[in-house]
Amino acid sequence: MTCKERGRVAKLTRAMQYVNNTELSSAEETRCQFNGSKADIKLGIDVHQHFYTVVMQVGGCNPKPAQRFAKEAFLHWAAKLKQSCGGQVHAVYEACGFGFGLQRELSALGIECEVVCPQKLDEQNRRVKTDGLDAKALCLKLDRFVQGNRSAVALVRVPSEEEEQLRAIHRQREQLVKTRKQLEAQGRSLMVNHGIEPVQQWWKRRAFAALNVPKWMKELLKNSQPILLALEEKIHALTVQLQAAAQDRQPRGFGALTSVVIDREIANCTASAIGDRSAVTPVYVRANTVVATPACKVASLNTATRVCAPRWWKQPGVWFASSQTIERLRNGDTCWQKEPWPRELHARKPS
């Protein structure tokens, strides 16, 4: 190959690299690039406890290499980015154990931040998972979402700070109940391992005084008994606090505690949580029978739409029903209890 031919090959290679590095991802962004308008910026964020891994896409160009920021440094960088760019800035990250603080901070800066359900981001099944690849995959999904593909990501409703504070009360109660059950099971396991018939709720004062176990075993159980008694007191106090917050008129079949937990977890859904619909009313369903609905809500749906409860909530689902259905429930119509489902819910009956 002559020098002239090698020069042509080098020029062709550089031209191909330029084309690949400036590839546009959508027709809409292509028009923005050539008509002089400001292109939107998309940020895919992989959240960690002490740092964020961020991939940025400007307009329709390919995403830029991943960057790693400390928490404070990222917010400062995002604020400068919002001020310097003329277009909109969009951001996305997966819902995780770090809450929604980042979404609120970015929204305060004027950045449209979305929180999405965790999902498998390795669509090509390469079996390679890094923070940079996850952030890039989120950025590309956000690009499709911004362009109008609403199925690209599954949005998570961001609760208000007040809602999170109310939820923390009954969630802490459930954590204390779980801890009490674990300690109680450890005591029963100790008895079973040494051939002694286990005693239910052995840690209560009267039962513990009557325990027929060896002295050495009672000394071991005595280490856990004060903790269990203290947990029981805290659980009782939280239970009374939650029951006091319940409404006077409770749905049929629901206790005060159950009603409060449902209202604080899943009954405050708005139209943004289920799509472009007006105000709706949740109808609680138990054992394939409509039970009741809060009287303080207002509904305007013609068909029933199911909204799944959180995974941890092992109660029946919640349905959104028409105003006629809810009015009949409020009036105490009991004829529906003879049927497995009212007419309004036959079309969307769960399997």
The average pLDDT across 139-153 equals 91
3-state DSSP assignment of residue 94: strand
Q: Do residue 93 and residue 200 come from a single domain?
A: no
Most confident of 9-18, 180-189, 266-275: 180-189
| Residue 274 forms part of a structural domain | yes
Closest CA to 304 of 351, 345, 341: 345
272-278 average pLDDT score: 42
Q: Pick from 146, 169, 200: which residue ends a domain?
A: 146
205-239 tens-digit pLDDT: 999 999 999 999 999 999 999 999 999 999 999 99
Average pLDDT, the chain: 76
Q: Domains in the chain: how many in total?
A: 3
Phi-psi label, residue 6: left if phi above 0, alpha if psi -120 to 50, beta otherwise: alpha
In a shared domain, residues 130 and 171: no
Q: Report the predicted TM-score, pTM, of the whole model to 2 decimal places.
A: 0.66
Q: Which amino acid is at 286?
A: R
On whether residue 91 sits in a domain, the answer given is yes
Q: Phi/psi zone of residue 36: left (φ > 0), alpha (ψ -120 to 50 degrees), beta?
A: left
Structure confidence by residue, pLDDT tens digits, 18-44: 444 444 455 555 555 555 557 889 999
Tell me which residue range forms the domain holding 165.
Answer: 161-244
Query: Per-residue DSSP letters for 149-177?
Result: -TTSS-B-----HHHHHHHHHHHHHHHHH
Instruction: Identify the top-confidence range among 129-133, 254-258, 338-342.
Output: 129-133
Q: Is residue 351 part of a domain?
A: no
**pLDDT recorded at residue 136:** 94
